[in-house]
Amino acid sequence: MSKQDLLIEIGTEELPPKALANLSKAFLWEIEQGLKNQQLAFSSSKAFATPRRLAVIVNDLDLMQPSSEMERFGPAIQAAFDADGKPTKAAEGFARSCGVGVSQLAQKDDGKVTKLFFSAVKEGQPTDTLLPAIINQALGALPIPKRMRWGSARDEFVRPVHWVIILLGSSVVPATVMGIDSGNESRGHRFHHPDTFVVNGSQDYESALLKARVVADFSKRRDMIRKQIIEQAENINARVVIDEDLLDEVTALVEWPVALTGTFDERFLDVPKEALVSSMKNHQKCFYLEDANGLIKPNFITISNLDSTHPERVIAGNERVIRPRLADAEFFFQQDKKHSLESRREKLKTVIFEQTLGTVFEKSQRVTSLARFIAEHIGADQALAVRAAELGKCDLLSGMVGEFAELQGIMGYYYALHDGEPAEVAQALNDSIYHGSLVMNYLEVRPASFSHWLNASILLLACSASANRLQVPRTLLPCVVQHLAYCASL
């Protein structure tokens, strides 16, 4: 049977970076399943993804669907004919559904009774006539939480579609996808190569895009970025800390990655490391660097989507943007230190924990009682355990946590040390959020940090059960069991 390679490219406006990898994998899977459902064999397939395109190459695809034999059983003979031997409505309806007359139906035993039987050979269809439906169904099945419309069309997708390539070998497969007629023209990098260019087939797809300043392969682009940022770090005798999720996200943001190193004022190093990292990573999508001692350096690496003739201007622009974010963190840190954690505790009475469970202050009181009880039974210092439980959620009202919610507990640790609280108490505030992922160095830490989780798990379980929201307790039960097992091991 004749075979050809298939190339599909869906050109769009910039796709959501955090969803790009999953969309690409899902698109490939849906295309594969669509081909298999139509009994179209192929040897291999590969997905490509950039901010402006989803693409799939299928190698050695059958050009013709194989013929298949269709067999159908109808009603039993007793129900198919009346006493006079005339066809009943059941028999006539079955024959009509098969597109034949009752006289053209056969009789066959299905292992239990003899029934009317129809068989026919269904001729296979050319692959190019099947592809439009397969592609449209694949796009419709992608995991897109919220689809959008554009122009006057009724088509919906994650982003507006601007061009579509469907090539079987070197021939264009006629189709309309998301309101766009298929062709053989793609588009390169938005700035370096904005013009269209012809793609002759799957064999030169990657090379053609590379000439247009687009690295189409997600994995190759990711490896390029990893290599570049490591080289950039080595140039200034530093070590880059590579967050794999951030690496995936910046890979999905660029088509032609160029790593650049910027700097920021050393005064910002007085701000807790976690706050600086949060600003650089979550807000600016930058990688931070450390020296040989693991201390953060006043540098960052950003990934540009532009091979600029004046990279110093791109660096200066990123430095200008990141400076206010770090200044915000510095401001909140300095302001927060003017008020102790203890002074914020009373204000927890205004923060609702859960509608039926009261305020965070009331939760803090419950946690304090649990911590005192657990400390007594494991021989820990009750005063330290109680103090840690009392201060456990006070950093919620700090400006830093208000701006960077992911720093809850971490900032409690820094503020507790600044307030002169014992190191054991400060560590407990950290572990009350990160319990289970950090090593607990102090026995006094355990009662307070565990009590936060035990209180929340049990009370939310009871609250959910009382409201008959059974799906919630099922998700909480493993958490409760895990914590109870941990308590038993203390």
pLDDT band at 455 (very low <50, low <70, confident <90, very high): low
Judge if 176 and 106 occupy the same domain: no
pLDDT band at 468 (very low <50, low <70, confident <90, very high): very low
> pTM of the entire structure?
0.81
Relative orientation angle of helices 423-434 and 445-466, to the nearest 10 degrees: 30
Taking Cα atoms as reference points, which of 233, 238, 220 lies closest to residue 261? 233
Judge if 422 and 471 occupy the same domain: yes
Question: What is the mean predicted confidence (pLDDT) over 110-126?
Answer: 85
Q: What is the pLDDT of residues 42-98, one digit of tens each?
A: 999 999 999 999 999 999 999 999 887 778 888 898 888 888 888 999 988 988 988
Confidence (pLDDT) at 464: 45
* 139-177 residues labelled b (16+ CB within 10 A) or e (exposed): beebebeeeeeeeeeebebbbbbebbbbbbbeebbebeb
DSSP notation for 188-257: --TTT--SEEE---GGGHHHHHHHTT----HHHHHHHHHHHHHHHHHHTT-EE---HHHHHHHHTT-SS-
Segment holding 260, helix H or strand E: strand 258-263
Judge if 49 and 192 occupy the same domain: yes
CATH number of the domain at 346, please: 1.10.3210.10
The dihedrals phi and psi of 100, each to the nearest 5 degrees, come to: -135, 175
Burial bucket for residue 63 (CB in 10 Å: 0-12, 13-18, 19+): middle
Confidence (pLDDT) at 450: 55
For residue 462, pLDDT over 60 is answered with: no
Whole-number average pLDDT of the chain: 87
Judge if 46 and 113 occupy the same domain: no
Q: Please give the torsion angle defined by the CA atoms of residues 423, 425, 428 and 430, in that order, rounded to the nearest 10 degrees.
A: -70
State which of 288, 312, 336 marks the end of a domain: 336
Judge if 207 and 296 occupy the same domain: no
Q: Kindly report which listed range (193-202, 212-221, 477-486) carries the lowest average pLDDT score.
A: 477-486
Euclidean distance between the first and the last CA atom of the chain, given in angstroms as a whole number: 68
Q: Please give the torsion angle defined by the CA atoms of residues 452, 454, 456 and 461, in that order, rounded to the nearest 10 degrees.
A: 180
Judge if 408 and 377 occupy the same domain: yes
Q: Which residue segment(s) compose the domain that 153 sits in?
A: 3-65+126-211
- DSSP letter at 370 equals H
Confidence (pLDDT) at 456: 53
**What's the one-letter identity of residue 272?**
P
Q: Which residues pair with 185 in a beta bridge?
A: 198
pLDDT band at 206 (very low <50, low <70, confident <90, very high): very high
Judge if 117 and 178 occupy the same domain: no
For residue 472, pLDDT over 70 is answered with: no
Judge if 361 and 435 occupy the same domain: yes
For residue 440, pLDDT over 70 is answered with: no
For residue 354, pLDDT over 80 is answered with: no
Confidence (pLDDT) at 441: 43
For residue 425, pLDDT over 90 is answered with: no
465 CA to centre of own chain: 30
Encoded tokens for 466: 């009382």
Confidence (pLDDT) at 479: 54
State which of 155, 190, 211 marks the end of a domain: 211
Judge if 226 and 358 occupy the same domain: no
Judge if 304 and 431 occupy the same domain: no
Segment holding 353, helix H or strand E: strand 352-354
- Per the CB < 8 A criterion, the answer to whether 208 and 199 are in contact is yes
- DSSP letter at 477 equals H
Judge if 207 and 307 occupy the same domain: no
Q: What is the pLDDT of residues 119-129, one digit of tens each?
A: 887 788 999 99
Judge if 203 and 228 occupy the same domain: no
State which of 122, 145, 164 marks the end of a domain: 122
Matching residue, tokens 């400076």: 323
Confidence (pLDDT) at 365: 82
Overall number of domains in the chain: 4
